[in-house]
Structures are given as C-alpha cells and as structure tokens.
Amino acid sequence: MSTNARAFPEEERALRENRWWDALCRRDKQADGRFVYGVKTTGIFCMPSCASRLPLRENVQFFVDAEAARQAGFLPCKRCLPGSSSREQRQGAAIEHACQLMAQSETSLTLAQVATAVGISPYHFHRLFKAQVGVTLKRYAAALRGQRVRALLSGEVPVTQATLAEVFHSSEQFYQESHQLLGMPPCSFKHKGQGMTIHFAIGTCSLVAVLVAESERGVCAVLLGDDATALINELHALFANATLVAGDAAFDQRMALVIRAIDSPGAPLTLPLDIRGTAFQLRVW
C-alpha cells in the first residue's frame, strides 16, 4: 500500500503519530475528525474512538483524513463509519427528528413508535433520549401536550372538552393533569389569570434569561428569552387579568436555587434551542 501523500517532514511526522497513537490507545473521542488510522493486516481504516480491538503498533498507518486512507487502498470500518458524521452528530440528529415527530403528531406517540421511526431499538433509544435531552421521552411528550393546551386556552377560539380530549387520552385525564400543567384551573388560565395573584422572578440559565411565575396553585409559566423586559411583557400578555407581583428576596433566592439545580450546561449543544428549552422548562415545572 502507498504511503500517506500528505506526510510532514520525518521528525514532525513521528512526533505527530506518537500523539495520535496515544490518543488511539485511549480511544479518545476528541480525536475523531483529527485523523484516522488504517490496519495493514485487515485493510480497514477507523476513527480513533472505534470500539474494535486495538491493533499492534507496527500494523497501524495514520492518515489525516478518510480520503487519504481511501487513496492508500484502505476500506472504511462498518462499525465506526469513518468519514461520515460523528456518532454524536448522528445521535443528535435522531433525537431532533424524534422531537419533531412528536411535536407534529396530532396524537400521542409511544416510545416504540418513535424509536422505530428513527431506526433505533426502543431500549437503546430510551437511554439515549434521556441522556441527550435530560428527561424521558414520556415526560417530554407531556411537556409538548402542555404547550399545546396552553396555546389552545390562550387563543380566541372556544375550547371544548372534545378538543382537549384530542390532546390527552380523555377529558378526564386533562382535568386530572390540568392544575399541574397550568398552575391554576383551566377557566382561570383561559381568562388570563382572572382572580389570581402571580409572583414571578427572573434569573439566568445556560440557555438564556428565564422567568418563573407561580400562583398559589403552583408554577404557571416558565418563559425563556434574551431580554428581561420582553419576558415581563410576555407574562403580562399571558395573565393580563391577574395581579402580578415581583418576587421578594426570598422568592428570588428560591427561584435562583431551582434554576441552578435544574440547569444542565453540559447538555449536548447540537440539539436545537427549542428542544433544550422545552426540556429545561419541564424540569423547572
């Protein structure tokens, strides 16, 4: 097989390949995309993090990218798929697709249905979804239902029990969950918080600014945005008929502790902001 046509001067190449060998021995995921390695005895090339058996050093040939390895006569590994998108990118794309399917569906989708749609086994998808999003698929689906109900109740069109039953499995289920979803009775939410006193506080999370509002029944709004004034205006629009009270020092401190405890700055940044924001709002709720 031919040598790598993009080789650096001999000493620099040796130092570089020593670093790459060290990364390969550690199966360093951070090294994926920086180089690939070919195994002379098999004719296969892989990414550094590939789970295949570690080859002997004398059988390894390094390349700066997948194209160089192909030109040298190596074939891509079918396990780690070098040269394609990273595993994290593929997983993020699958999660994003799943969230879009749930958001667009008129009915509740089961874990098995969503997993099948994205081509992952239900068991593996359940673990992957929770690790990437921070909540289970079932709870994320519940958050989407809550968003839809709040949008329906905030509109001008009369909302019937039949309409609410379409979002949930039944009208009974909606009324069982409505107080937790809305932080107040559905009729009060429909009438923009009429007769309610709502306390609120503003803090920051790893996403953006966050406003948390709470009635005597529980959390009734978790709003995300870039501007605190815009968040307050949004709260006024949601609950125009309620008495809005800025939280006192104790309330502000409690909300700050909640946000800090729930925030996940280490969550995968490949997921769109709306997906991460929905999961964050659900955890605050």
The residues that are catalytic are: 46
H or E element in which residue 60 lies: strand 60-63
Residues facing 39 on adjacent strands: 44, 60
Residues across the chain: 285
- Cα within 13 Å of Cα(199), Cβ side: 13
User: What would the two tokens of residue 142 be?
Assistant: 């519940």
Q: Which residues contact 137 (CB under 8 A, 6 or more apart)?
A: 98, 102, 111, 114, 125, 126, 129, 130
CA angle at 185 for the pair 196 and 283, rounded to the nearest 5°: 90
Using alpha carbons, select from 136, 70, 165 the residue that is nearest to residue 175. 165
CA distances from 133 to 36, 54, 126, 149, 240 (A): 30, 32, 11, 22, 33
d(CA 228, CA 235): 11
Q: Which residues contact 172 (CB under 8 A, 6 or more apart)?
A: none
